A = this chain, B = another copy of it.
């Protein structure tokens, strides 16, 4: 046993994963791609099986003072769907494991599973297994998703090429701002338990935080448009963090434009009211579960005018790094400050 002591807080999530897995090489012929993408890719003969897993911890990923258990269940499934979607795949099954302290009742867990079942219904997924155990404190949910993708349609993080175009779906930053609104109301409530939370005007933001959706619809759109992204990732930790993942995996640089970042009007107005920068929220706010992908320039006509897809920049040589061209025309470096609970 080593006597040196490296504190985890000095590492961050991705460095820790790198250090824990650096010496491990896959050996099975069926393990086509292992660690390093949104999902593992297993050769199932005719198609690829996709496997991804996410863990959600009370007090880290969700706060039961404002997140109803039904939404916690729903969102846990959605996060996994987003990972399968990011491989251009379709989710088929999930397993759900929970560790629960004795402060939870059967009725509380039935609410949690109601949310899980609602997501299964909405996204046509089967719950096929899991584990249930006790925990000394709090709730931990671990979900594994199994999906599939036709071999020729698989999208990895590593396929982006210089001069490809960079796209995102939907809008960014709303889930993060939703969380700020919820935290603000929680603090006010702690000071004055008689206050009525002012949540109605922020409904869209709060829904994006508590009950997000995954963009399985976009995979169907790609199919219809006969569009195959050159690389793809889901935006769970923040746009900047995901761009850096693509950049590292594809060995390319990125230039994105501040004025192209899709920000919903309510997000924009609320960031201003909270004295936050809408651009920084769009870049670094996590949990939007939108898709970030790159396409070759020849495919531009396929997405032009589509309200679901926004062109935000283009790929450069790796030496260029990750640049943001601001509204004032300056080019600044972007670094990851993503949502990394560790």
Contacts and interface: CB of A to CB of B under 8 A. Distances in A.
A19 interface: yes
A58 B110 CA distance: 25
Interface of A: 1-2, 4-9, 11, 13, 16-17, 19-21, 23-24, 26-28, 30-31, 33-35, 39-40, 42, 44-47, 49, 51-61, 92-93, 95, 97-100, 102, 104-107, 109-111, 113, 117, 120, 124-138, 140, 142, 144, 146, 341-342
Given A20-B113, A136-B60, A51 B129 contact: yes
Copy total for this chain:
2
20 contacts: A1-B111, A2-B107, A6-B107, A8-B102, A8-B106, A11-B106, A17-B132, A26-B127, A30-B92, A35-B127, A49-B146, A51-B129, A53-B129, A57-B99, A57-B135, A99-B140, A132-B342, A137-B137, A140-B140, A146-B146
B55 A142 contact: yes
B341 A39 contact: no
B9 A126 contact: no
A194 to B, nearest CB: 22
Nearest to A138: B136
10 closest Cβ pairs, A-B complex: A40-B128, A142-B142, A6-B106, A26-B126, A34-B128, A144-B144, A40-B129, A31-B126, A55-B97, A44-B44
